[in-house]
C-alpha cells in the first residue's frame, strides 16, 4: 500500500501568512489541537509535521510551514541571484537556502523554511484565502513555487465565504498553468471537498496512486462508520427516553413535582451524555458545543382519559378541544416556535397528549384501577431530543477541525426544524413506550444481557439506528 | 542504511505475519475482544490502558487484530478469560443435563405407549403419533420460521425453543452465581455475538435438535428392547374412517422406511390388522399374525429412525456445521461507537511528527527612518494618499478631506510594479507631500512584505506618515469583529517595526465616515503649505476634541520656539478654549466663581498698576479650580500648579470673553504667577523651586493646565464631587506621571486622557 519506494508521500503545506495552513492540517488530521491557529500573521513559525495513516500505517507526511510574507522582495532577491539565464529555478533556490539570507533570524528565514520543505517533499499544497484578491504577493509566491519544480495543488480556503473570489482565483491559477485546484474550506468541512483534494493530488502523483486511493477509501469508510456510530448513540438515547416510565401513586400528590423533576433531570443528563459521546466520537472537545438547558416538556401526568381536569388542561393549553389527532400538529407548531425563540419555556407547557396508542390506554386503565399513574416524556420532548441530536451530528460532520467558534444548539435552522417536525416519530419509539425495561434510565435492575428484553431492545436499537442514519443523511449537508 | 534495509524487508515480512495472525485469530479471540468492548460500552473499565494500547498499536494487522491483541493483554484479561470459561461450563453442564433429561423423557414416553396388558394388541397409530407427532409438528414449525420469519419473530422463535430455554436458564444461573462485571461482560459478549450473526440461531437449533435426538435415542432403545423381549400385536382402529384411508396412509408412511430397507406391512396385512373385537384374532392363522406384527414393528422402528432420529441427526450436523462456519465468518462490528473510540487510540488517523526548524526568531523589518539621504529640503506640497492591497477600495477614492483640500493621489498598490512606481514618484517629485497617508484594509493580514513597503516609503518621505486601516465593517461581516482590536495591534506592531510611531496607525472606515472620523481625517492632514486657520478642527466635532486640537496646535507652535512659553500665549489658548463653551458661559462662570467685579476691573483697564481686586479674584479662581482636583492629583505639585494655573487663566479668559480685550496685551502676568504660587504654597510647607523652571517643564505645565481647563469646562453642569470623581478616572496614574516633552507626546497623552474620560463618563452614565 505504501508508495513505490516504501517511503511515505511527503507534502508541504505552504501559502501566504494567515491563509489557513495550520487549519488545513487540523482538518485533514481531524485533530483540533494541532499547532496553533489564530487570525494573526505568523502564527505558525516553525515547520511541524504530521502523518496521515491508514490502518495504523503512516502513508502521507504533511508539513505545516510558516507563511510566506515577503515574496515580492524574495523574488527580487532570487532574480538577482539568477545571474546566468541558464540556471534553473531549483539551483537558484538551493543556493538561496544555503545563503545567509535564509539563516534563522535572517530576512527571509521564514520563507526559507517553507521552501526547504517544498524541495524536500513530493508535492506542495498552496493554501489560498479566496477572500483575498489575486495580488502581486500571491503571483510572486506562485512564481517562486514554480521555481521549485514540484507539483503544486492550490487549495482554495474559505470558499464558503460570501466574499469568496473563487472564479478570479481559478482563472489566475489556470493562467500560471495550475489546473488541479482543490476547493476545501477548512472551517466548513465538505466531505466531497476532502476526497477531491486527494484526487487532485493523485492526478499529479502517479507514483503514489495506490497510497492516495487507500487514503480516500479509508476516509470514506471512516465517515460511514462515524455516521452509523453516531446514529447508534442517538437511537440509544431515544430508546432510553421513550421507554422511561415513572410510576407514581395517585394519592401522594406532594411527590409529583419531585418525581417530575427527577425524571427531567435524568433525561437531561442522558442527553448530555449523548452529546459528549457524539463530540468525542467526532474528536471534538466538550467546550466546542455550548448547549442550552434542555427544553424538556413536563414529564406530565400520564394522559388519563378519565380525568376531566387533564382534558380541560389540554383544551386550555392548546386553545382548542380538538381530538388527539389534531393536537399533533399543534404540538409540533409549539415546538418549532419554542425552538426559534431559543427557549424551552414555550415547549415546557406544551401538551403532547399525542401518545394515545391502545396499549397505553390499557395500561393506564389498569394503573387507574390500581390507584397510580405513570409519568413519561411526551412526544414533543422526544421529537425535540431526536431533532437536536440529529442536528448536532449533522453539524459535527460539517465542522472542520479548524473551527474556533463553538456550536450552539439554539442555532437550529428553521428549515431543518420544520423538515423534521413534520415527520412522525419512528414506530420503534411507539413500541418502546410500552417497554419500560428497555430504558437504562429506569430504576431497578437492568435487563440482563442476553435476556429477551435485551435482545428485543437490541433489535429495536438496530432498527432505530438505521432510521436515524437515514435521517442524518436525509437533508443535503450543503447549505 | 539500516532504514532502507528495514523498509525493503518489512513489507513481505509483514504480509507473512499477517497471514499467520489471521489464522491465529479465532472466534474465541473475537469473543474475548467482544467482552472487552462490552465492558467499555457499559463503562465498566477505564479505557486508559497504556500497556494494552501499546501492544495493540505495535501489532501488525488490521483493526480487528489490534482489538484482539488488546483484549489479550488488557489489565483484566485473566478475569475475562476465566469468566468466559465459567459461562461456558454452566452452559455445557446445562446442555448435558438437558440431554440426559431428554433421554429419560424418550424412555418414559416409549414405555408409556408400549405398556399394555399382556396379549392385548397395540394401536400402531397411537404409538406412532405419541412418539413422532409432537416433535415432527415442532420441527415443521421450526423449519417454517427458519425459512420465513424475520426480525423479532425470529428472535422470539429461537428464544422460545428448547435451546433458547437452556440459554435463558444458563444466563439466570450465571446471574445468580456470579456477580462480577467480567461475567456480565461474558454473557453480554456471547449474546452480542449470537445476535449479530447466525451463531445464536445455529447454536440454539443445535441444542434443540440435540435434545430431540436424545429423546429419540431413548425412545428407540426402549422400543427395540421391548420389541425384542415381548410379543406385540399391532392393530389399527377406527370408528368413522374406512380402510381406504388407512391403507394409503400406512403405505405413504411406510414408503420412506421401506426404501431404507425396513420391513413394512403389505396392503393385505394392513387390511387384516384392523382391530375387530375378539373375532379378528381368531380368524387368522397365527403365522400370519406374527408376520404382520413383524412388519408393523419394522415400520415402527423404521419410522422412528427416518422421521425422528434421522432428521434430528441431520439437523444437528447441519446446525453444528453452520454454527462453525458462522463462527469463523464472524467479524467484530467495527462501526460501533466503542470500537471507534478504541480505533482513535490504536490506529490514529493522523499523528504528529517532530518539529523541524524550530527557531522562533522572526526576522525584523529594519527601520531605515533617519537614514534618509541628506538631500535639500523640498517644499511642502499637498498631502499624498496611496491604497495598498485594497480588496474593496472605498466608494470615493481618494476620500474627500474636510476643508476642501486636495490629495496627491498615488493610486493603488497591488504589485511589485505599483510599488516601484509609487517609490519613484515619491523620490523624484519636486515637493514633499504635506502628509503621507497609506490606506490598508483591516481584513488584510499585516505581513512583512507590507512592512517592507512601509519602511521603503518612510525612507523617502520626511513628513508624517499615517496608516489608515479601513474596512472594519467588512471584517465584522466576516464574523471576525472580535479580532479587530488584535488586528489593529498587529498593524501597529508592523508600523513600529517600520519606524513609525504607534499613534500614526488609525482605524478609520473610509466608507462610513462620520463627523468624528472626518475630524480625525482633517487632523491628519495638516494645513497645506503652512497657511490656513489654526482652528483646523471641524465645527461639528465635540468641543472637547476641538479643545484638544487647539492644545495640540498650541504645542506645535511652541515646539517651533521652544525657548520659553509665554503666559500670554497660554492665556490666549485658554481664551480660545473658553470661547468654545461660550454658550454655557454663566454656568461655568459660576462654577469658577469669577467675580462680577472683574468686568469693571477689566473695563477700567489696569495697564498701569495691578489692582488688588484682580489679584484676589485670580487667586480665588485658582484655589477654586485646584479644589476640583482629586486628592491624588492635589498631592502632586505639578498637578496642583496646573490646576491653579488653569483657574487663574480661566478667570482671565472669562473676563476677556465678557469684555473683549486683547488679552495678550495685558501686562499682568506676574499676577498670575503669584496667584499660582499662592495656591501651591498654601498646600506645601516648603518651596524648593523657584520660577527657574526648564523649558520642557513649562511646556508640560502649560499642556496640563489647558487640558484641565478644557476637561472641567466639558464637565460643567455636574456637581463638584462628580467632576472630581470623573477627573480622577480621566487622569490615571500613567497619565498623571507622564512626561510631556514633545508635541508628539502631547497628542498621545491627550488621546489617552480622552479615552479614559470617555470610559469614566460611560461609567458615570450607568451609575
- Nearest CA to A198 out of A18, A24, A403 is that of A24
Contact A53 B347 (CB under 8 A): yes
Q: Does B79 touch chain A (CB under 8 A)?
A: no
Q: How far apart are CA B691 and CA B503, in angstroms?
A: 34
* CB contact (8 A) between residue B449 and residue A137: yes
Average pLDDT, chain A: 73
Q: Do B449 and A449 touch (CB under 8 A)?
A: no
What is the rounded average pLDDT of the residues A222-240?
Answer: 90
| CB contact burial A1-27 (16+ within 10 A = b; e otherwise) | ebbeeeebbbbbbbbbbbbbbbbbbbb
> Would the pLDDT of B534 be above 50?
no
Cβ–Cβ gap A131/B478 under 8 Å: yes
| Inter-chain CB proximity A39 and B168 less than 8 Å | no
Q: Is B347 on the interface with A (CB under 8 A)?
A: yes
**A223: which residues sit within 8 A by CB, 6+ positions away?**
A191, A397
Tell me what percent of the residues of chain B surpass a pLDDT of 90. 7
Confidence tier at A310 by pLDDT (50, 70, 90): very low
**Res A477: pLDDT:** 41
Cβ–Cβ contact B356 with A under 8 A: yes
Report the residue of B349, B489, B493 to disrupt the A interface, i.e. the one with the largest count of A CBs within 10 Å. B349
In this complex, the residue of B195, B358, B414 whose CB is nearest that of residue A136 is: B414
The reported pLDDT for the residue numbered A14 is: 93
Instruction: Return the top range by mean pLDDT from A378-382, B85-89, B228-232, B294-298.
Output: B85-89
Contacts with B480 from chain A: Cβ below 8 Å: 39
The residue among B156, B165, B181, B337 with the most chain A CBs within 10 A of its CB, best to mutate, is: B337
Given pLDDT bands bounded at 50, 70 and 90, which one contains residue B607? very low
State the pLDDT at residue A445: 64
Candidates A45, A63, A161; nearest CB to B362? A45
Q: How far is A53 from chain B (nearest CA, A)?
A: 5
Which of A211-225, B237-251, B660-674, B750-764 shows the lowest mean pLDDT across its residues?
Answer: B660-674
Q: Which residues of B touch A401 (CB under 8 A)?
A: none
Ranges B40-49, B55-64, B586-595: which has the least confidence: B586-595
Whether the CB of A456 is below 8 Å from some CB of chain B: the reply is: yes
- If residue B353 lies in a helix (H) or strand (E), which one and from where to where? strand B350-356
B369-398 mean pLDDT: 73
Mean pLDDT across the stretch B665-685?
62
Range name among A240-244, B262-266, B296-300, B515-519 with the lowest pLDDT average: B515-519
- Establish if B151 touches chain A: CB-CB under 8 angstroms: yes
Q: State the pLDDT at residue B515.
A: 66
Residues of chain B contacting residue A26, judged by C-beta atoms under 8 Å apart: none
Q: Is B554 exposed, middle or buried (0-12, 13-18, 19+ CB in 10 A)?
A: buried
> For A29, which of B350, B417, B443 is closest by C-beta distance?
B350
Q: Please tell me the predicted confidence (pLDDT) of residue B215.
A: 93
- Give pLDDT, residue A17: 87
Nearest CA in chain B to A161: B478
Grid coordinates representing B344 are 482513535
**Would you call A209 an interface residue with chain B, using a CB distance cutoff of 8 Å?**
no
A456: closest chain B residue by CA: B152
Average pLDDT over residues B530-541: 37
CB-based burial, A350-359: b 16+ in 10 Å, e otherwise:
bbbbbbbeee
Q: Residue A332 pLDDT more than 50?
A: no
Three-state DSSP at A316 gives helix
- Please report residues of B whose CB lies closer than 8 A to that of A32: none
Residues B308-337 pLDDT 10s: 888 899 999 999 999 999 988 888 888 888
User: Is B352 at the interface with chain A, CB within 8 A?
Assistant: yes
C-alpha span between B638 and A218 (Å, rounded):
75
The whole-number average pLDDT for the span B389-418 is: 81
For residues B1 and B303, the answer to whether their CB atoms sit within 8 Å is no
Q: What is the DSSP secondary structure assignment for residue A57, as one 8-state letter?
A: E
Of B589, B575, B574, B576, nearest to B620 (Cα)? B589
pLDDT at A291 over 70: no
Residues in B closer than 8 angstroms to A52, CB to CB, are: 349-350
Residue of B262, B270, B267 whose CA lies nearest to B299: B262
Residue A63: predicted pLDDT: 92
Interface check for A455 against chain B (CB to CB < 8 A): the answer is: yes
Contact call for A72 and B449, based on CB within 8 A = yes
Digit-coded pLDDT (tens) for A111-150? 898 999 999 999 999 999 998 889 989 999 999 999 998 9
Report for A51-65, A338-352, A419-433: range of highest mean pLDDT:
A51-65
Contact B363 A454 (CB under 8 A): no
CA distance B345 to B645: 75
Q: Which of B57, B66, B355 sits opposite A46 (nearest CB)?
A: B355
Predicted local confidence at residue B539, as pLDDT: 39
CB of A29 less than 8 A from some CB of B: yes
What is the residue-averaged pLDDT of chain B? 77
All residues of chain A having their beta carbon less than 8 Å from the beta carbon of residue B188 are: 449-450
Sign of the Cα torsion B492, B498, B499, B500 reads: negative
Indicate if the pLDDT at residue A228 is higher than 70: yes
Average pLDDT over residues B133-160: 75
Whether A448 and chain B come into contact, CB under 8 Å, resolves to yes
User: The pTM is what?
Assistant: 0.64
Query: C-alpha angle B114/B116/B121, rounded to 5°?
Result: 90
A100: distance to nearest CA of chain B, Å?
A: 13
Q: What is the structure's pLDDT at A287?
A: 63
Mutate to test the interface with B, among A11, A20, A56 (most CBs of B within 10 A): A56
Chain B contact present for A163, CB below 8 A: yes
CA distance A180 to chain B (A): 25
For residue B23, the distance in angstroms to the closest alpha carbon of chain A comes to 19
Contact A55 B344 (CB under 8 A): no
User: What pLDDT does B669 receive?
Assistant: 61
Whether pLDDT at A4 is above 50: no
Q: Does B445 touch chain A (CB under 8 A)?
A: yes
pLDDT of residue B742: 75
Q: Give the integer Cα–Cα distance in Å for B353 and A48.
A: 7
Q: What is the mean pLDDT of residues B593-600?
A: 63
Chain B residue whose CA is closest to A106: B363
Q: Is pLDDT above 70 for A346? A: no
- pLDDT for res B216: 92
ipTM: 0.72
Q: CB of B550 within 8 A of CB of B530?
A: no
Q: What is the CA radius of gyration of chain B?
A: 55
**Does the structure show a pLDDT above 60 at B540?**
no
Cβ neighbours for A56, distance < 8 A, ≥ 6 positions apart: B57, B63, B66, B346, B347, B348
Give A18→chain B minimum CA distance, Å: 7
3-state secondary structure of A237: helix
Please tell me if residue B456 touches chain A, with a CB cutoff of 8 Å. no
* Greater pLDDT, B735 or B705: B705
Q: Do B155 and A135 touch (CB under 8 A)?
A: no
pLDDT average, residue stretch A350-355 = 30
Q: Which pLDDT tens digit goes with each residue over B100-110?
A: 999 999 999 88
Tell me which range, B185-199, B318-332, B351-365, B501-515, is most confidently predicted by mean pLDDT.
Answer: B318-332
CA dihedral B485, B486, B488, B493 (to 10 degrees): 140
Say if A269 is an interface residue toward chain B (CB within 8 Å). Answer: no
Residue A309 has pLDDT above 70, yes or no: no
Predicted local confidence at residue A13, as pLDDT: 93
Q: How far apart are the CA of B677 and the nearest CA of chain A, in angstroms? A: 53
> Is residue A479 less than 8 Å (CB to CB) from chain B?
no
- Between CA B248 and CA B569 the distance in angstroms is 140
Residue of B nearest to A115 (CA): B357
Of the spans A416-430, B108-122, B439-453, which averages the highest pLDDT? B439-453
On the question of pLDDT at B759 being above 80, the answer is no
pLDDT of residue B682: 57
Report in angstroms the alpha-carbon separations of A314 from A303, A323, A327, A365, B713.
10, 10, 9, 19, 66
Amino acid at each position: 500500500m505504501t508508495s513505490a519506494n516504501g517511503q511515505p508521500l511527503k507534502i508541504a503545506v505552504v501559502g501566504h501568512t494567515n491563509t489557513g495552513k495550520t487549519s488545513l492540517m487540523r482538518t485533514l488530521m481531524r485533530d483540533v489541537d494541532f499547532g496553533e491557529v489564530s487570525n494573526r500573521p505568523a502564527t505558525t513559525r516553525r515547520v511541524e509535521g504530521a502523518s496521515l495513516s491508514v490502518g495504523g500505517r503512516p502513508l502521507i507526511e504533511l508539513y505545516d510551514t510558516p507563511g510566506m510574507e515577503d515574496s515580492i522582495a524574495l523574488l527580487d532577491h532570487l532574480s538577482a541571484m539568477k545571474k546566468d539565464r541558464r540556471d534553473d529555478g531549483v539551483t537558484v533556490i538551493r543556493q538561496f537556502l544555503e545563503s545567509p539570507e535564509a539563516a534563522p533570524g535572517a530576512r527571509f528565514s521564514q520563507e526559507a523554511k517553507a521552501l526547504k520543505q517544498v524541495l524536500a517533499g513530493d508535492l506542495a499544497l498552496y493554501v489560498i484565502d479566496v477572500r483575498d484578491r489575486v495580488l502581486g504577493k500571491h503571483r510572486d509566491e506562485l512564481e517562486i513555487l514554480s521555481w521549485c519544480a514540484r507539483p503544486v495543488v492550490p487549495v482554495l480556503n474559505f470558499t464558503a465565504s460570501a466574499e469568496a473570489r473563487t472564479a478570479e482565483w481559478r482563472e489566475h491559477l489556470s493562467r500560471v498553468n495550475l489546473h488541479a485546484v482543490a476547493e476545501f474550506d477548512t472551517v466548513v468541512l465538505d466531505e466531497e471537498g476532502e476526497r477531491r483534494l486527494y484526487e487532485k493530488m493523485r492526478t499529479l502523483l502517479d507514483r503514489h496512486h495506490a497510497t492516495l486511493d487507500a487514503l480516500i477509501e479509508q476516509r470514506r469508510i471512516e465517515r460511514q462508520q462515524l455516521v452509523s456510530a453516531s446514529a447508534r448513540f442517538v437511537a440509544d438515547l431515544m430508546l432510553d427516553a421513550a421507554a422511561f416510565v415513572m410510576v407514581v401513586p395517585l394519592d401522594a400528590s406532594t411527590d409529583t413535582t419531585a418525581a417530575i423533576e427527577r425524571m427531567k433531570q435524568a433525561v437531561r443528563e442522558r442527553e448530555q451524555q449523548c452529546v459528549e459521546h457524539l463530540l468525542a466520537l467526532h474528536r471534538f472537545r466538550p467546550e466546542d458545543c455550548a448547549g442550552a438547558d434542555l427544553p424538556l416538556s413536563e414529564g406530565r401526568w400520564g394522559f388519563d382519559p378519565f380525568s376531566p381536569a387533564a382534558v380541560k388542561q389540554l383544551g386550555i393549553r392548546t386553545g382548542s378541544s380538538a381530538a388527539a389527532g389534531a393536537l399533533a400538529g399543534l404540538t409540533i407548531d409549539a415546538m418549532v416556535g419554542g425552538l426559534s425563540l431559543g427557549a424551552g419555556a414555550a415547549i415546557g407547557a406544551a401538551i403532547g397528549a399525542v401518545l394515545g396508542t391502545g396499549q397505553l390506554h390499557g395500561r393506564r386503565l389498569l394503573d387507574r384501577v390500581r390507584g397510580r399513574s405513570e409519568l413519561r416524556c411526551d412526544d414533543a420532548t422526544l421529537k425535540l431530543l431526536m431533532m437536536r441530536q440529529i442536528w448536532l451530528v449533522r453539524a459535527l460532520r460539517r465542522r472542520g477541525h479548524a473551527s474556533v467558534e463553538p456550536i450552539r444548539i439554539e442555532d437550529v435552522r428553521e428549515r431543518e426544524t420544520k423538515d423534521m417536525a413534520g415527520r412522525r416519530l419512528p414506530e420503534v419509539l411507539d413500541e418502546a413506550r410500552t417497554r419500560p425495561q428497555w430504558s437504562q434510565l429506569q430504576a431497578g435492575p437492568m435487563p440482563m444481557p442476553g435476556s429477551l428484553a435485551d435482545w428485543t431492545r437490541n433489535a429495536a436499537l438496530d432498527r432505530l439506528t438505521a432510521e436515524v442514519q437515514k435521517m442524518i443523511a436525509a437533508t443535503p449537508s450543503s447549505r | 542504511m539500516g532504514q532502507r534495509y528495514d523498509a525493503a524487508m518489512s513489507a513481505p515480512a509483514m504480509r507473512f505475519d499477517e497471514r499467520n495472525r489471521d489464522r491465529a485469530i479465532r472466534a474465541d479471540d473475537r469473543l474475548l475482544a467482544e467482552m472487552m468492548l462490552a465492558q467499555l460500552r457499559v463503562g465498566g473499565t477505564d479505557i486508559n490502558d497504556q500497556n494494552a494500547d501499546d501492544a495493540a498499536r505495535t501489532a501488525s494487522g488490521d483493526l480487528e487484530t489490534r482489538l484482539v491483541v488488546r483484549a489479550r493483554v488488557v489489565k483484566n484479561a485473566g478475569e475475562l478469560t476465566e469468566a468466559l470459561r465459567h459461562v461456558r461450563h454452566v452452559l455445557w453442564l446445562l446442555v448435558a443435563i438437558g440431554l440426559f433429561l431428554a433421554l429419560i423423557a424418550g424412555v418414559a414416553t416409549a414405555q408409556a405407549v408400549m405398556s399394555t396388558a399382556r396379549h392385548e394388541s397395540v394401536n400402531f397409530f397411537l404409538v406412532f403419533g405419541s412418539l413422532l407427532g409432537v416433535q415432527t409438528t415442532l420441527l415443521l414449525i421450526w423449519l417454517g420460521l427458519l425459512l420465513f420469519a424475520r426480525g423479532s419473530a425470529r428472535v422470539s422463535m429461537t428464544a422460545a425453543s428448547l435451546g433458547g430455554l437452556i440459554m435463558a436458564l444458563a444466563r439466570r444461573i450465571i446471574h445468580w452465581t456470579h456477580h462480577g462485571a467480567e461475567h456480565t461482560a461474558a454473557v453480554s459478549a456471547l449474546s452480542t455475538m449470537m445476535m449479530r450473526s447466525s451463531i445464536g440461531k445455529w447454536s440454539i437449533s443445535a441444542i434443540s435438535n440435540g435434545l430431540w435426538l436424545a429423546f429419540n435415542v431413548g425412545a428407540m432403545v426402549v422400543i427395540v428392547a421391548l420389541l425384542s423381549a415381548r410379543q406385540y400385536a399391532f392393530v389399527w382402529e377406527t370408528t368413522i374412517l374406512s380402510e381406504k384411508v388407512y391403507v394409503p396412509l400406512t403405505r405413504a408412511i411406510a414408503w420412506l422406511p421401506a426404501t431404507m430397507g425396513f420391513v413394512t406391512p403389505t396392503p393385505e396385512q394392513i387390511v387384516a390388522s384392523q382391530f375387530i373385537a375378539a373375532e379378528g384374532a381368531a380368524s387368522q392363522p397365527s403365522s400370519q399374525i406374527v408376520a404382520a406384527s413383524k412388519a408393523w414393528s419394522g415400520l415402527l422402528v423404521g419410522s422412528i429412525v427416518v422421521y425422528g432420529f434421522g432428521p434430528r441427526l441431520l439437523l444437528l450436523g447441519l446446525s453444528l456445521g453452520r454454527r462453525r462456519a458462522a463462527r469463523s465468518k464472524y467479524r467484530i462490528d467495527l462501526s460501533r461507537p466503542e470500537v471507534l473510540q478504541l480505533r482513535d487510540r490504536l490506529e490514529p488517523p493522523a499523528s504528529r511528527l517532530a518539529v523541524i526548524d524550530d527557531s522562533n526568531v522572526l526576522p525584523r523589518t529594519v527601520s531605515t527612518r533617519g537614514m534618509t539621504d541628506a538631500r535639500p529640503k523640498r517644499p511642502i506640497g499637498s498631502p499624498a494618499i496611496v491604497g495598498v492591497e485594497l480588496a474593496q477600495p472605498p466608494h470615493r477614492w481618494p476620500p474627500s478631506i474636510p476643508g476642501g483640500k486636495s490629495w496627491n493621489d498615488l493610486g493603488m498598490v497591488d504589485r511589485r510594479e505599483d510599488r516601484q512606481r509609487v517609490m519613484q514618484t515619491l523620490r523624484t517629485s519636486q515637493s514633499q507631500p504635506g502628509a503621507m497617508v497609506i490606506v490598508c484594509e483591516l481584513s488584510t493580514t499585516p505581513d512583512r512584505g507590507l512592512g517592507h513597503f512601509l519602511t521603503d516609503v518612510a525612507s523617502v518621505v520626511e513628513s508624517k506618515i499615517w496608516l489608515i486601516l479601513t474596512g472594519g465593517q467588512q471584517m465584522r461581516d466576516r464574523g471576525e469583529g472580535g479580532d479587530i482590536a488584535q488586528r489593529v495591534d498587529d498593524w501597529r506592531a508592523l508600523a513600529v517595526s517600520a519606524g513609525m510611531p504607534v499613534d500614526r496607525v488609525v482605524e478609520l472606515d473610509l466608507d462610513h465616515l462620520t463627523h468624528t472620523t472626518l475630524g480625525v481625517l482633517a487632523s491628519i492632514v495638516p494645513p497645506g503649505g503652512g497657511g490656513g486657520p489654526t482652528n483646523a478642527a471641524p465645527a461639528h466635532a465635540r468641543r472637547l476634541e476641538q479643545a484638544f486640537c487647539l492644545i495640540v496646535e498650541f504645542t506645535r507652535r511652541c515646539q517651533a520656539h521652544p525657548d520659553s512659553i509665554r503666559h500670554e500665549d497660554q492665556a490666549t489658548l485658554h481664551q480660545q478654549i473658553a470661547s468654545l463653551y461660550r454658550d454655557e458661559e454663566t454656568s461655568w462662570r459660576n462654577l469658577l466663581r469669577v467675580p462680577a467685579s472683574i468686568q469693571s476691573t477689566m473695563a477700567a483697564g489696569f495697564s498701569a498698576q495691578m489692582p488688588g481686586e484682580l489679584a484676589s479674584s485670580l487667586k480665588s479662581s485658582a484655589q477654586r479650580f485646584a479644589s476640583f482636583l482629586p486628592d491624588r492629583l492635589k498631592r502632586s505639585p505639578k498637578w496642583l500648579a496646573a490646576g491653579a494655573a488653569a483657574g487663574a487663566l480661566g478667570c482671565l479668559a472669562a473676563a476677556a470673553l465678557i469684555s473683549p480685550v486683547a488679552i495678550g496685551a495685558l501686562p499682568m502676568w506676574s499676577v498670575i504667577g503669584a496667584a499660582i504660587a499662592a495656591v501651591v504654597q498654601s498646600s506645601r510647607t516648603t518651596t524648593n523651586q523657584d520660577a527657574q523652571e526648564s523649558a520642557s517643564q513649562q511646556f508640560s505645565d502649560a499642556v496640563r493646565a489647558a487640558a484641565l481647563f478644557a476637561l472641567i469646562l466639558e464637565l460643567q453642569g455636574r456637581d463638584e464631587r462628580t467632576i472630581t470623581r470623573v477627573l480622577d478616572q480621566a487622569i490615571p496614574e500613567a497619565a498623571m506621571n507622564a512626561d510631556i516633552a514633545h508635541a508628539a507626546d502631547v497628542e498621545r497623552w491627550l488621546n489617552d486622557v480622552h479615552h479614559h474620560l470617555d470610559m469614566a463618563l460611560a461609567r458615570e452614565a450607568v451609575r
